[in-house]
Structure 1
Amino acid sequence: MPTSDQLLGFVLASAVLIAAPGPDNLGVVSLGVSRGRRAGVGFAIGCALGCLTHTLWAVVGISALIAASDAAFTLLKIAGAGYLLYLGVGALRSGGSFNQATGERRAPAVSMAPYLLRGFLANALNPKVALFFLAFLPQFMDPARPAAPQAAVLGGLFCVMTMAAFGTLGVYAGVVGQWLAERAGLGRWLDRAAGCVFVALAGKLLWAKR
């Protein structure tokens, strides 16, 4: 187990990193605004669970493989960018949660499950997150102690913090989306805006370097 000083430093550093703008929280905001609180919170939980995947990868050595192999990094990057592009194009092409003829809000998402899966895949298929965990976790681990249990504890803690922060963000994004949808002429553009966010994130990931 990490020491109390290591845990405190990890919590403080993680809080700053989680609060910084990035692909995951932008996805939470865009879906929360366009599809409602359940969609935003579901995507947030999925992103947090994706962090557990990267923790496991770091423990078993897959992240090290991604860091060392151009082919592995590129393959995962293309898969992640392709999935984000799929989400973006789908949002741009569909009527989404708004009636395009009237601009009125349709029923919000009733299930978190589809959005949880989207958030999980968007995070788990991002090689930059894998490299982040590979570089970040060891800074708060005691080299004299077994690495795997320490990485599991730190990764789990990061997941819980991410879930709490992003979940709160998803709730507030849903409130903002409801307010915007009630304004004439704004509701019909929210799904399009969400689609543009995911397309932009796909482009950013596609051009990412190790």
Structure 2
Amino acid sequence: MIPIHDLLFFALAALILVISPGPNMIYLISRSITQGKKAGLISLAGVVCGFLFHIVMVSFGLTAVLFAVPYAYIILKTLGTVYLLYLAYQAIKPNSKNIFEMDQDMTIDSPRKLFTVGFLTNVLNPKVAVFYLSFFPQFIKPQYGSIFTQSIELGLIQAFTSFTINFIIVLTAAKVASFFAKNPLWVRIQKWFMASVLVFLAVKMALSKAK
């Protein structure tokens, strides 16, 4: 069983992942604003199923890699650190697009298409795969039991965190978009705060050691 303090830190990392702008968030916000909350929730169901796909694939993969490849932990830790720093840069880089500025002239999609596109958007999102491959090894230790079971445990925490935040985003997308459109200062504050937290997590990860 993974210690509770490690699970809480992982949950924080998962929270940072879900609130950092990416394909999933952009898709859910765009569908919610242009087609309504029902369309956003159907799209979210597809996204969540995409997470379950990643969880199973990565759990089997990590079980094999961590036992078979020497220094896999160091390689994946380095990958995770670089990835966090990349996300921090993406958050504050000049001329980055405001995700709340949506094209209102979008076509209306059927529920089946909404679900399918949500699923594929997540499955084909390298951000999710890299997060799993680089973060899971920081918290998975042989002394805690089955590596596969630990991977599933972390994956479910990440999926639940993502579902909760994205559910709120779907229900409030129009209001949030309107607020940020009228208060651009908050967008800049949000970006720099997110970048600061990402850098902190990157440094903590870089200094962590295998147990």
1:49 aligns with 49
Return the alpha-carbon distance in structure 2 between the equivalents of residues 171 and 42 of structure 1: 12
Distance 1:19 1:135, change over 3 A: same
Kept in 1: contact 2:34–2:106 (CA 8 A): no
In structure 2, C-alpha distance between the alignment counterparts of 1:176 and 1:131, rounded to whole Å:
28
Q: What stretches of structure 1 of length at least 5 have no aligned partner?
A: 66-91, 98-108, 180-210
Size of the aligned set, in residue pairs, is 139
Residue in 1 that maps onto 2:130: 131
Q: What residue is the counterpart of 1:151 in the other structure?
A: 151
Query: TM-score under structure 1 normalisation?
Result: 0.57
Report the counterpart of residue 4 of structure 2 in structure 1: 4
Counterparts of 1:33 and 1:117 in 2: how far apart (Å)? 19
Task: State the distance in 2 between where 1:63 and 1:130 align.
Answer: 15
Question: Counterparts of 1:118 and 1:51 in 2: how far apart (Å)?
Answer: 13
Deviation at 1:166, TM superposition (A): 0.7
Is 2:95 the partner of 1:96?
Answer: no
Structure 2: gaps spanning 5 or more residues:
66-102, 179-211
Q: 1:53 to 1:121 in 2, by over 3 A?
A: same
- Displacement, 1:132? 2.3
CA contact (8 A) 1:40 1:173 kept: no
Query: Which residue is 1:23 aligned to?
Result: 23
SS of the residue aligned with 2:142? coil
- How far apart are residue 136 of structure 1 and its match? 1.4
- The answer as to whether partners of 2:46 and 2:116 remain within 8 angstroms in 1 is yes
Is 1:161 aligned with 2:172?
no
CA distance in 2, matches of 1:62, 1:146: 11
Cα separation, partners in 2 of 1:148 and 1:14, compared to 1, 3 Å: same
Letter in 1 for 2:22: G
Q: How far, CA to CA, are the matches of 1:31 and 1:135 in structure 2?
A: 30
- What amino acid maps onto 1:96 in structure 2? T
Secondary structure, aligned partner of 1:130: helix
Query: For the residues of structure 1 that align with 2:63 and 2:21, how far apart are their CA atoms?
Result: 23
Whether the 8 Å CA contact 2:29–2:170 is kept in 1: the answer is yes
1:16-74 CA-to-partner distances (Å, cap 9, x unmatched) read: 22111111101111111111111112212321221111111111228989xxxxxxxxx
Identity of aligned residues (%): 31
Change (3 A) 1:9 1:95: closer
Of stretches 41-50 and 8-17 in structure 1, the one that deviates more from structure 2 is 41-50
Instruction: Go from structure 1 to structure 2 and tell me whether the alpha carbon gap of 1:62 and 1:9 turns closer, same or farther (over 3 Å shift).
Output: closer
Q: How far did residue 175 of structure 1 move?
A: 6.0
Instruction: Find the aligned partners of 1:95 and 1:27 in 2 and give their Cα distance.
Output: 12
